């Protein structure tokens, strides 16, 4: 699952018809935090090309995959 596909799924959750239910609202808060964290980390990665150039591609992919898996877990738990 790519970072963008996770962000797209998280964005879809922003407009759930069940808002107002305390359990759903709590979940939506968690989803919003996960989305914000992914976007923050992606911005850091994208803003530091000199650092990225010095890192092996496998490390960059591994680092991104950790956050993508965590966000995917949040989405799977919600369903």
HSE-CB for 6 with a 13 A CA cutoff:
26
Structural domain boundaries in the chain: 3-78
Per-residue pLDDT of 9-67, as tens digits, reads: 767 766 666 667 777 778 778 888 888 888 888 887 777 766 656 667 777 777 777 77
Helix runs in the chain, H state only:
3-13, 22-47, 49-54, 57-78
Question: How far is Cα 78 from Cα 68, in angstroms, rounded to an integer?
Answer: 15
Within its chain, how far is the Cα of 5 from the centroid?
9
């Amino acid at each position: 699952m790519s970072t963008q596909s996770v962000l797209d799924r998280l964005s879809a959750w922003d407009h759930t018809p069940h808002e107002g239910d305390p359990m759903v609202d709590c979940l939506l808060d968690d989803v919003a935090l996960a989305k914000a964290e992914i976007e923050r980390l992606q911005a850091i990665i994208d803003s530091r090309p000199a650092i990225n150039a010095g890192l092996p591609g496998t490390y960059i992919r591994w680092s991104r995959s950790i956050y993508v898996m965590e966000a995917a877990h949040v989405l799977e738990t919600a369903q």
